[in-house]
Amino acid sequence: MDTPSYPSPGYLNISVQSEDFDIGLELQQLKAATPQAGALVNFVGLVRDMSVDGKLNRMFIEHYPAMTEKALHHIAGQAFQRWPLLGVRIIHRVGTLAAQAQIVLVAAASLHRQAAFEACAFMMDYLKAEAPLWKKEIGDFGEHWVEARTSDEQAKQQWKLPG
Amino acid sequence: MDTPSYPSPGYLNISVQSEDFDIGLELQQLKAATPQAGALVNFVGLVRDMSVDGKLNRMFIEHYPAMTEKALHHIAGQAFQRWPLLGVRIIHRVGTLAAQAQIVLVAAASLHRQAAFEACAFMMDYLKAEAPLWKKEIGDFGEHWVEARTSDEQAKQQWKLPG
Amino acid sequence: MKITILYFARIKEVVNYSSEDVVLPDGVETIVALKSWLSGRGETWRKLFHGSGVVRAAINHELVDDMATVEEGDEVAFFPPVTGG
Amino acid sequence: MKITILYFARIKEVVNYSSEDVVLPDGVETIVALKSWLSGRGETWRKLFHGSGVVRAAINHELVDDMATVEEGDEVAFFPPVTGG
């Protein structure tokens, strides 16, 4: 794991892995690491069973190993700078995943709910636009790389600070 | 459980209970009930161990039994009307809870992340402002009812639709 | 007309009841009129409804404002601003 | 100067390499110059870097734009817009 490039005054744990994860266990660990927390917000992304081309059987996620964790640390570091967070947990899976499998977990712990909600949405928007991961969908239609959506880039832009 | 007062084209499950809940199990059930979902967002509220008056030992949550589930159904119904949600799960605990105990779970499932994020934040803001629940903090300082925060009313107001 | 009134949280502790059935005199047909009528019971009640604290009301499990109409058989509830979540 | 170039996802499949070490001629010192130089390898490369698809670049694991400077020993990566999450 890389050293975070930004200060992270709270708890930070980032994993890029092929194995599945247990949401309940992950949130329990985040909660245990942030005993002052009053709010936990988490996002889980799942493999949808439909692609634009038809029914999807599985998904392959490629990534840039030396860069992925660094990019996720950078994103989490920005969230720690912008919101009073107590802890962050990020997991992104890579490799071959079945339909409905869990792909990504982003969780934030804070005293009050607004910081956790905003930071969690911010980190997902940045992850979608900046983390070096690529999805390939595999189905009866054959296989294709997922096209980047301009809405994901726009979602990131909305977080830009003025000036 | 009351009949929802609003249409809920998706999966909806609301509980008001004294028992604790298992976040992982709840999200697994929500996921199973919404096989098309690509995004799950959930909020968990926890009893903080500090009150404005000092260290908190436990919290007592009173509610208006005949009205609480109805109010939560109303809130979830509004979320289903405003966002393309596939499913919603809400649990609110009542009675005596220890410091760091789980108080509330609000989870939303949708195809894409934005709907789930917004609906989850919306439901929490409305729950805080409209659901008939009252917290009493108990600590070395004695006990006191928690004061409503004007920021919670403001958080609700921001969701008002124009006109 | 006869209604049931419920009290919750701090208000329940102040009035020392959790519920009561009352028969309202003619003319007491709104929440604001009901608050005034209850205030006639004495200092505790007057301070409750005319003091600095906000008292919210529900009729038959729906939040209402002061101008809402009370009808025969209604369940009226008085409580402080909510603090769940 | 000598650098390492990595290719990912669709681009890796197009060029049919995942990585290569290359020695750059004098004057090739930016990402845009590197793209032009690689385009000289033939039609596949020219279409990759000058076609309709966006090609993103990173130097030493940091996202960069076309004007970024390439230095001796750098790890340069080319990849399509990311689609994780």
Report the pLDDT value the prediction gives residue A149, as an integer from 0 to 100.
Answer: 87
- One-letter amino acid at B74 equals H
| Cα dihedral A71, A73, A76, A82 sign | negative
Alpha-carbon span B144 to B136, nearest angstrom: 5
With contact defined as beta carbons under 8 Å apart, do C71 and C34 qualify?
Answer: no
Tokens at residue B57, please? Answer: 């030992």
> Is A45 a member of any domain?
yes
| Cα dihedral A45, A46, A48, A52 sign | positive
Q: Taking CB atoms and an 8 Å cutoff, what residues of chain B touch C55? A: none
Alpha-carbon span A16 to A26, nearest angstrom: 14
> Is A2 a member of any domain?
no
Secondary structure of A21-67 in HEC code, one letter for each residue: CCHHHHHHHHHHHCCCCCEEEEEEEECCCEECCEEEEEEEEEECHHH
Q: Taking CB atoms and an 8 Å cutoff, what residues of chain B touch A59? A: none
Report the pLDDT value the prediction gives residue C52, as an integer from 0 to 100.
Answer: 87
> Is A11 a member of any domain?
no
Under an 8 A CB cutoff, do B133 and C81 touch?
A: no
Map residue C12 onto helix, strand or coil: helix
- Residue position matching structure tokens 């170039």: D5
ipTM of the complex: 0.92
* CB proximity list for C41: less than 8 A, separation 6 or greater: none
Q: How many domains does chain B have?
A: 1
With contact defined as beta carbons under 8 Å apart, do A132 and D82 qualify?
Answer: yes
Give residue B114's Cα distance to chain centre: 18
Binned at pLDDT 50, 70 and 90, residue A162 comes out as confident
> Is B4 a member of any domain?
no
- Of all residues in chain D, the one with the smallest CA distance to A62 is D9
Under an 8 A CB cutoff, do C8 and B104 touch?
A: no
Tokens at residue A38, please? Answer: 């009053």
Percent of chain B with pLDDT over 90: 82
Alpha-carbon span A130 to A156, nearest angstrom: 9
Percent of chain C with pLDDT over 90: 96
pLDDT at B7 over 80: no
pLDDT at A65 over 80: yes
CB-count exposure of residue D60 (10 Å: 0-12, 13-18, 19+):
middle
Alpha-carbon span B35 to B109, nearest angstrom: 10
Alpha-carbon span A101 to D14, nearest angstrom: 28
Task: Find the domain containing B109 and state its range.
Answer: 19-157
Q: Taking residues D4-17, what's their average pLDDT? A: 96
CATH of the domain at A148: 3.90.1170.40
- State in words which class domain C2-79 has: alpha beta
> Is A41 a member of any domain?
yes
Tokens at residue A104, please? Answer: 């990504």
- CA nearest A45: which of A139, A140, A120, A157? A120
Chains contacting A (3 or more CB pairs within 8 Å): B, D
Q: Is B46 on the interface with A (CB under 8 A)?
A: yes
Measure CB to CB from residue B35 to each of A22, A27, A49 and give the nearest one: A49
- One-letter amino acid at C9 equals A
Domain boundaries, chain D: 2-79
Report the pLDDT value the prediction gives residue A1, as an integer from 0 to 100.
Answer: 45
pLDDT at A6 over 50: no
E strand or H helix that includes residue C4: strand C2-7
- One-letter amino acid at A98 equals A
User: Taking all residues of chain B, what is their mean pLDDT, rounded to a whole number?
Assistant: 93
Q: What is the CA radius of gyration of chain D?
A: 12
Alpha-carbon span A83 to A80, nearest angstrom: 6
Give residue A83's Cα distance to chain centre: 17
Q: Taking CB atoms and an 8 Å cutoff, what residues of chain A touch D84? A: 61, 63, 92, 103-104, 127-128, 131-135
Distance from CA of B41 to the nearest CA of A (A): 5
- Residue position matching structure tokens 């930004």: A6
Report the pLDDT value the prediction gives residue B163, as an integer from 0 to 100.
Answer: 64
